[in-house]
Structure 1
């Protein structure tokens, strides 16, 4: 990977930030909580200090604020905070697994698979989230050239919270290392990538912030892995176990009242809240929650405020989009932001994920049979052109969507169609990953239900989610599967034994009727979907916010042209500056770069993210905080 240019350093005169305590305090209600772990006691919010003059180094300067921003509002905790100490044998960063355990392809075992303990579930969730995001393969450089796999003792604070007007709670977590440095007050705030659970950003935000003595605040941004078997409606408790009767749960859903196999409810798809519309608010709320935790954990140095504590936001993929959405919120609460491969839709330009993902789901299997992709291993299973791709080309031609007399000419026409829509050959090549893993359909099915506000029993286009057998037929999930959903699932099916059921499947290309139906929702036949997507557009960040956006040129899931580059162009057209770093030989998934089918074609992108964070940190530390 080519070296990156240094981040610009520009002198900036000191300016006063409004000193305030955490204005949106997250109250801890008096309701009792389970006795398994101690509840952190509530204490009154401190009075604000006098104004502190802060000299802030700006990577970008501009002159106006973004339109259409929403003020954050108080969020209620669904139950008290749960605090747990984590020493070397069960630390914050590796859950006691250390480097060898994280690199192992075998997940940490449960002593009793039917009833894993909270500690076992946490350890396995941390293992699965590390391996889902970072390249931990031998020789990758993680832990030596960049990143950290060192054990970090400290305390972990968990809570369920809600946003005003939303139906479902979500998870917040703060990791506070024992080596927290009160003389360099810092909070790293992050949101999970994809639809992952609350540990979904630990391989970047946690591994960068905790060794530096920063508190790290996490949010699952309204998604997560608290799947629910609607046969019973049993949810997931705060500690990750299947909840007992009367416990507050991550995701509330009524029991299935119909006949047959009950569907599985997935929070991103079925919360009814369109969580993507609130991604920025989730990040801001997590930052506020961190200051509340610090007020209680370190009262001798209170109050902890946005004026006397630096907040650095960082995220990958959907987490990167959430960070940029948070940067567009009003106020000067954020000191810097780094977004990696962000899924972001600017107010002007770019393309929505649902738009290009439904397009890719239909056209890419056929296009990958074009001659340009003859050397792409994932496009040539067994060395031959994909039979599924050939069937897709034939179906599109029969439907009048494609022209061509031969399978090859049809594939070439499909490639030309995608190129005309803004795709590049590099993005299509990397998109073979998502095609091979059925990820396009997984994204489309989940997001369509989220945007339409439907439940597990009335998803758009006749889809539903359920535990499936080897042939893809629905079945009841086992108790062992249910016990491990929180630790093992990725947030969207297919995942942890839960698959996609398609009632429209028919013909030689059985997936195509449902995919066409999903695409039609974007093409204007469902106003709910288009309205919900419009609510996810970003607002301009404040003038002077140090902002770094990093995107791989070869990204095939969130193509650079549709997202990061479009966002950067929109900012600059509106008088904002940012550091925008494009990297060749980088696609979307660091965890996949070591796959044999990719044959060293790609390099990980996280090293560039660490470098950007290091530079932002260096520049912020060079500026007096008080």
Structure 2
């Protein structure tokens, strides 16, 4: 089941949780430098990947409360164990890792298993699972769940080795080698180009990470072996896509999992109100820029004056296609806004969704997931999208050696970002991305061959209910603008509770999807972080498993935004 296994020690100035950076190093605006930008060492790549993933997930800014009101960046010495794992039927493996702290107590065996948020690499949940589990002496098992940052450069035919460094095609154990034409150009990555539908296997990815944890513990602590699911506590936790992954793990048969905490999960099941990620993402990609013109006082960035011309062009495109009514921009924006409300969006989600609109995230997610759901390879995207380094005019160009070297540590797993762009051959003024978005949206409900192929992939991601008597706590922000609670957590919890499952639900007022953006003053003033509630839910389920209390009750947590220029205080969180 596992291949390319390796281990490493991390002590002194290179610990498990922060790679020796500590809070000050994690807060630094510039990433840890490479001595040779084109040829970083494995240690440099690891440190930078940890820096990047902490900053992408947590608000570490002074005044944000991290390390004071909640969370830990304490130095945790220990060892890491890495491998590739492969689910039956998959074309490509996913990465798994175990972080084993020196303080692990073999007499009180605890493993926290997690999956990366979004499409991040193997360290993509370190601020979630690692920050809670490692300081408590738990081993933490990770999976990139079939996505990750093992980008393959098609021009130079180079990929990523087990330790994150790059090597040419033909080197042993490259993490991802796409099936691509010899003359292909640009960048390929596992989530879009593996020919697999990784989301359909998220639960199995999580279980394999837990199985790898037991094997690595046997190897690391032979005197305490064997480690089994019967004698080792296993708690699963994740946020966003990682939250969806641990809920998919919760439905698997067998008494291998002891509890689950899922934050803002991307989960889709057949229940009233539920919608697939692809459905509401492609809807938002088209309608939200116009709808947001109807709202005053949107969070910034993006700066309203900069985006207003682009969003006005979108309103005109939608009106010309008959998708919104109105003869001027104001009435068209109101029509788009009302249409989104009618399909289940809340004003809070539309308002917070300005981040995804401003950073072009809707289009990026839709293009990548269309490729994954349809199991398309390099050069096969049904809407003509591809991925490459880009020139200032958005045309594709060859990536530099320095850009390639930093992909593994810096990328989020879905371009644009880290020097890789989303190439849309249909770009045309005045509404540059509209034609491509229309194509992506049509795949959701059309009846052509490509649409049926994508829809089959979406159907394969439907979740089932968690197994009976498994404690599950779901935590979600009511203002989530990327994975709206109304389409994901709320219908999942309602169906699970109606079926008598042990599922609890915390709805957090004034919380949106991205804690990492709370370092921006306007977002910090309006929103509270979600991570403290994920940590608190882990505390509660751990105590419950110890026999020290019941599972938390359902609750709507009435938080208090801190306001402009103020530090977060315990009273703002209103922790239940």
- TM-score tier (shorter): over 0.9
Match for 1:478 among 382, 400, 412? 400
1:576 positional shift: 1.9
Q: How far apart are the structure 1 equivalents of 2:24 and 2:406?
A: 22
Tell me whether 1:84 sits opposite 2:2 in the alignment. no
What are the equivalent positions in structure 2 for 1:175-574 lying under 5 Å apart? 175-244=99-168, 245-254=170-179, 256-258=181-183, 262-349=185-272, 350-370=274-294, 373-378=295-300, 381-383=303-305, 386-525=308-447, 526-574=451-499
Q: Are the counterparts in 2 of residues 233 and 255 from structure 1 also a CA contact under 8 Å?
A: no
Q: Are the counterparts in 2 of residues 456 and 465 from structure 1 also a CA contact under 8 Å?
A: no
Q: Residues 376 and 414 of structure 1: is their aligned pair in 2 closer, same or farther, counting only changes over 3 Å?
A: same
What are the equivalent positions in structure 2 for 1:590-601 lying under 5 Å apart? 590-598=515-523, 600-601=525-526
1:400 positional shift: 1.6
SS of the residue 1:82 aligns to: strand
SS of the residue 2:387 aligns to: strand
Q: How far apart are the structure 2 equivalents of 1:272 and 1:503?
A: 22
SS of the residue 2:155 aligns to: coil
Structure 1: where are the runs of 5+ without partners? 1-75
Q: Deviations over 1:312-358 (max 9, x none)?
A: 00000000000000000001100000000000002323100000000
Judge which range, 279-288 or 95-104, deviates more.
Answer: 95-104
Q: Residues 112 and 385 of structure 1: is their aligned pair in 2 closer, same or farther, counting only changes over 3 Å?
A: closer
Q: Residues 363 and 169 of structure 1: is their aligned pair in 2 closer, same or farther, counting only changes over 3 Å?
A: same
Judge which range, 465-474 or 159-168, deviates more.
Answer: 465-474
Q: Deviations over 1:96-130 (max 9, x none)?
A: 11111111111000011111000000000000000
Q: How far apart are the structure 1 equivalents of 2:412 and 2:30?
A: 17
Q: How far apart are the structure 1 equivalents of 2:427 and 2:391?
A: 17
Partner of 2:72: 148
Q: Residues 278 and 255 of structure 1: is their aligned pair in 2 closer, same or farther, counting only changes over 3 Å?
A: closer
Partner of 1:64: none
TM-score, length basis structure 2? 0.92
1:256 positional shift: 4.4
Structure 2: where are the runs of 5+ without partners? 550-576
Q: How far apart are the structure 1 equivalents of 2:213 and 2:324?
A: 53
1:570 positional shift: 1.2
1:528 positional shift: 1.0
Partner of 1:94: 18
Q: Are the counterparts in 2 of residues 232 and 256 from structure 1 also a CA contact under 8 Å?
A: no
Q: Deviations over 1:522-569 (max 9, x none)?
A: 013311111111111111111111110000000000000000111101
Q: Are the counterparts in 1 of residues 45 and 409 from structure 2 also a CA contact under 8 Å?
A: yes
Q: How far apart are the structure 1 equivalents of 2:136 and 2:44?
A: 27
Q: How far apart are the structure 2 equivalents of 1:391 and 1:383?
A: 14
1:597 positional shift: 3.8
Q: Residues 512 and 476 of structure 1: is their aligned pair in 2 closer, same or farther, counting only changes over 3 Å?
A: same
TM-score, length basis structure 1? 0.85
Q: Deviations over 1:141-166 (max 9, x none)?
A: 11121111111000000001211111
Q: How far apart are the structure 1 equivalents of 2:204 and 2:115?
A: 11
Q: Are the counterparts in 2 of residues 93 and 207 from structure 1 also a CA contact under 8 Å?
A: yes
Q: Which has the higher contact order (CA 8 A, sep 6+)?
A: 1
Q: Residues 200 and 379 of structure 1: is their aligned pair in 2 closer, same or farther, counting only changes over 3 Å?
A: closer
1:167 positional shift: 0.6
Q: How far apart are the structure 2 equivalents of 1:412 and 1:168?
A: 46
Q: How far apart are the structure 1 equivalents of 2:54 and 2:128?
A: 9
Q: Deviations over 1:205-229 (max 9, x none)?
A: 0011011111100000000001111
Q: How many corresponding residue pairs?
A: 544
Tell which structure's C-alpha radius of gyration is larger: 1
1:77 positional shift: 2.2
Q: Are the counterparts in 2 of residues 188 and 214 from structure 1 also a CA contact under 8 Å?
A: yes
Q: Are the counterparts in 1 of residues 302 and 354 from structure 2 also a CA contact under 8 Å?
A: no
Q: How far apart are the structure 1 equivalents of 2:509 and 2:315?
A: 30
1:428 positional shift: 0.1
Q: How far apart are the structure 2 equivalents of 1:346 and 1:580?
A: 17
Q: How far apart are the structure 1 equivalents of 2:304 and 2:498?
A: 48
Q: Are the counterparts in 1 of residues 120 and 412 from structure 2 also a CA contact under 8 Å?
A: yes
Q: Deviations over 1:176-218 (max 9, x none)?
A: 0000011110100000000000000000100110111111000
SS of the residue 2:95 aligns to: strand
Q: Residues 230 and 254 of structure 1: is their aligned pair in 2 closer, same or farther, counting only changes over 3 Å?
A: farther
Q: Residues 364 and 379 of structure 1: is their aligned pair in 2 closer, same or farther, counting only changes over 3 Å?
A: farther
